[in-house]
Amino acid sequence: MRFAAYEDRRRHRVAVVEDDGTLYPLPGITSLTDLLAEAGGLPGLLAAGRAALDVPPGPHVSRVRLLPPLRPTSVRDFVTFEEHVEGVRRSVDGAAGVPEQWYAAPAFYFTNPHAIHGHLDAVPMPPGSAELDYELEVGAVIGREGRDLTPEQARDHVVGYTVFNDWSARDLQGAEMTVGLGPCKGKDTATTLGPYLVTADELEPYRDTDGFLRLALTAEVNGEKVGEDLLSNMSWTFEEMAAYASRGTRVVPGDVLGSGTCGNGGCLAELWGRHGEQTPPPLKPGDTVTLTVEGVGALTNTVVPGTEPVCLPSARRRGRERP
């Protein structure tokens, strides 16, 4: 089952999307995040969706503005593709290979849940950046609260999937990460989710014998294919990622877990690292990026000019007086 959030005549609605694009609105539901909390997991979400199919249909998806399918409670973005780590590390840090620590656990960082964009939304250039990049990922959505989960338990907590574009200002990212912390303003301007939330049961036919989802991934810039990979090239399953995310804390309905960027052109920076130059060039206003995930959908956004950064002083070199 596919769920969409949309705006029609200035009203926000949540609907089931039929194969022909017809929307079946869920009565009284304006937030899929809230519905996930109420549903208590995949069975409850599917029951709510089936009930919507018993009421008169709404508009066709082509006649409304799609919103991000949900407003995440948090966004953890993992890095689970070895090929991506190799290429981007060479591009951003000038280093070869993969750090040994990467193999120990599925690392992630928290990104901005307040900068979520939807399908066909304009994405602004980050202030002060001239090196914008897309990142082709899949987001797993948590539907039940859990803590210290095993991977087997975590499967019941992943309610569905969506296409995930982790927009990245590579020049800002490269400078700020020399401080020894994770990315901040290099990843802060936009994350795109959509076009739909596809429930987990829909993708079970794609699961291989090792538990990975064998989905074809494609990235296009201005209609030209620049990257393609398989989601099954991840080094950890989503269930393992959810278990790690819940270690010593909790995951809650509406949390999004990004797969990390795929290899083989899943982002421009990986290609820059392999080519030794910025080919293809960084994104600029007017460029359109389409990310397609088999069984989930295609997510398209166009880059537009951003705002100028508000100038701040450099750090003041203070004395070290003590009381």
Number of H helices, E strands in the chain: 8, 20
- Residue 154's identity, in one-letter code, is A
Answer yes or no: is pLDDT of 113 > 80.
Answer: yes
**Percentages helix, strand, coil for the chain, rounded to the nearest 5?**
25, 35, 40
Answer yes or no: is pLDDT of 131 > 90.
Answer: yes
**pLDDT tens digit string along 22-72?**
999 999 999 999 999 999 999 999 999 999 999 899 999 999 999 999 999
Question: Which is nearest to 238 in space by CA: 190, 196, 204?
Answer: 204
Query: Could you tell me which residues come within 8 angstroms of residue 287 by beta carbon, excluding any fewer than 6 positions away?
Result: 221, 222, 302, 303
pLDDT at residue 91, as a whole number: 79
pTM (predicted TM-score): 0.96
Decide: helix, strand or coil at residue 285: coil
Q: Of all residues in the chain, what percent carry a pLDDT higher than 70? A: 100
pLDDT at residue 89, as a whole number: 83
pLDDT at residue 256, as a whole number: 98
pLDDT at residue 97, as a whole number: 85
Decide: helix, strand or coil at residue 180: coil
Residue 178: pLDDT band (50, 70, 90) is confident
Residue 307: pLDDT band (50, 70, 90) is very high
**pLDDT tens digit string along 246-305?**
999 999 999 999 999 999 999 999 999 989 999 999 999 999 999 999 999 999 999 999
Question: Which is nearest to 81 in space by CA: 207, 230, 197, 234?
Answer: 234
Residue 313 CB burial class (10 angstroms; 0-12, 13-18, ≥19): exposed
**How many Cβ atoms are within 10 Å of 98's Cβ, its own excluded?**
14
**pLDDT tens digit string along 143-176?**
999 999 999 999 999 999 999 999 999 999 989 9
Pairing mode of beta strands 132-133, 168-169: antiparallel
- CA torsion through residues 8, 12, 16, 17, sign: positive
pLDDT at residue 109, as a whole number: 96
Please give the structure tokens belonging to residue 6. Answer: 């949309």
